Amino acid sequence: MKSLLVALALTTALTLPSMALARPVTLTTNLTNYGGNGAYLALYVTDAKGAYAGSLWMAGGKSKYHEHLSDWYRVTGGNSAEINGITGASVGAGRALSITLDLADTLFDAGYALHIDAAAEDMRDSPSEIVVPLTAAGAGKATAGRRYIANFTYDM
């Protein structure tokens, strides 16, 4: 029950700051065919000052590998309460992760950025592989990754 309340509080913090309106946003991460095991991905948001604002999704459920998502791990202290209720399976090479979340309108055009850390077993970690400002104008525009992610888009 406690983890459910923590997840609800976190989700509410990201989707309803200042009782703002929220909209469904589809986040799509396409992975390259890097030739390894499934990738762990951490999708999280920072504010205009670069401070951690909250986690949106974690692909990969084994907590012993979360430390390899090093920027996310650093800003959260590896606190699993940050991802309770918002986790899914790791994402295979050449595959895509597409999730739709309700995000607060106040996150857009206000200096917030979405980060994606990536890591794959027995391969190099890729902290903040994607960092994209959350803007209305950026919706639908692909951002290229550096190692495991071919591209990332968000659509509103």
| Average pLDDT estimate for 125-153 | 97
Q: Which domain holds residue 77?
A: 2-155
- Report the pLDDT averaged over residues 18-42: 91
CATH code of residue 118: 2.60.40
Phi, psi (deg, nearest 5) at residue 45: -120, 140
User: Which structure tokens are listed for 45?
Assistant: 């948001």
Q: Say what the pLDDT of residue 47 is.
A: 97
User: pLDDT class for 53, splitting at 50, 70, 90?
Assistant: very high
Q: Name beta bridge partners: 143.
A: 152
Beta bridge partners of 101: 25
DSSP symbols for 72-128? HHHHHTT-GGGTTT-EE--B-TT-EEEEEEEEEGGGTTSS-EEEEEEEETTS--EEE
pLDDT tens-digit series, residues 78-100: 988 899 889 999 999 999 999 99
- Long-range pairs for 6-13: beta carbons < 8 A, 24 or more residues apart: 6/81, 6/84, 7/84, 7/85, 7/86, 8/85, 10/54, 10/55, 10/81, 10/82, 10/86, 11/85, 11/86, 13/53, 13/54
Question: How many structural domains is the chain composed of?
Answer: 1
Between residues 63 and 151, which one has the greater pLDDT?
151
pLDDT at 20 (0 to 100) = 62
pLDDT of residue 68: 96
HSE at residue 147, side-chain half, CA atoms within 13 A, is: 16
Phi, psi of 74 (to 5 degrees): -65, -50
